[in-house]
Amino acid sequence: MNLADSEVVLSILSASGYEPTHELARADVVFVNTCSVRENAEQRIYGRLGDFKHYKQRNPSVVIGVLGCMAERLRRDLIESESHVDLVVGPDEYRRLPELIENAIAGERGIAVRLSRVENYDDIIPLRTDGISAWISVMRGCDKFCTFCVVPFTRGRERSRTLPSILREIEHLSARGFKEVTLLGQNVNSYHDGMHDFADLMASAATVDRTMRIRFTTSHPQDMSEKLIETIADHENICSSIHLPIQSGSDRILRLMNRTYTREQYLQLVKTIRSTIPEVSLSTDIIAGFPTETDDDHRMTLDVLREVEYDGAFTFRYSRRENTKAWHMGDDVPEGTKIQRLNEIIDLQREISARKNLGMIGQTVEVLVEGESKKSTEDYCGRTDTNKMVVFSKGGVRIGEYIDVKIERANSATLFGSPVAKAEQAYEERKLAANG
Q: Which residues bind ligand SAM (CB under 6 A)?
A: 37-38, 148-149, 151, 186-187, 218, 220, 245, 247, 285, 287, 316, 318-319, 321
Q: Is 220 in the site for ligand SF4 (CB under 6 A)?
A: yes
3-class SS shares of the chain: helix, strand, coil, % to 5: 40, 20, 35
Among ligand SF4, ligand SAM, none, the one that 153 touches (CB under a kind-dependent 5 to 8 A) is: none
Q: Does 287 bind ligand SF4 (CB under 6 A)?
A: no
Rounded to a whole number of angstroms, the minimum distance from the CB of residue 260 to ligand SF4 is 9
> What whole-number distance in Å separates Cα of residue 187 and Cα of residue 277?
21
Answer for the pair 284, 313: CB distance below 8 angstroms, yes or no. Answer: yes
From ligand SAM, ligand SF4, none, which one binds at residue 319 (CB under 5 to 8 Å depending on kind)?
A: ligand SAM
**Is residue 181 a contact partner of residue 136, using CB atoms and an 8 Å limit?**
yes
**C-alpha distances out from residue 61 to 27, 67, 94, Å:** 10, 19, 21
Encoded one letter per residue, x for contact with ligand SF4 by CB under 6 A and - for no contact, window 140-169 reads --x-xxx--x-xx-----------------
Out of 186, 219, 301, 384, name the contact with ligand SF4 by CB under 6 A.
186
Return the number of the residue (231 or 319) whose C-beta is nearest ligand SAM.
319
Give the three-state DSSP class for 133: strand
Q: How do beta strands 364-372 and 379-384 pair?
A: antiparallel
Q: Which is nearer to ligand SAM, 247 or 250 (CB)?
A: 247
Nearer to ligand SF4, 113 or 149 (CB): 149
345 binds ligand SF4, rule: CB under 6 A: no
CB nearer to ligand SAM: pick between 30 and 142: 142
Selection from 25, 31, 26, 1 nearest residue 13 by Cα: 31
CA nearest 149: which of 293, 36, 55?
A: 36
For 304, the 3-state DSSP assignment is: helix
CA–CA separation, 198 vs 270, rounded Å?
Answer: 19
101 or 149, CB closer to ligand SAM?
Answer: 149
Q: Which H helix or E strand runs over 417? A: strand 414-422
For ligand SF4, give the closer residue by CB, 46 or 145: 145
What is the smallest separation between the CB atom of 158 and ligand SF4, expressed in angstroms? Answer: 9
Residues that bind ligand SF4 in the complex, under the rule CB under 6 A: 142, 144-146, 149, 151-152, 186-187, 220
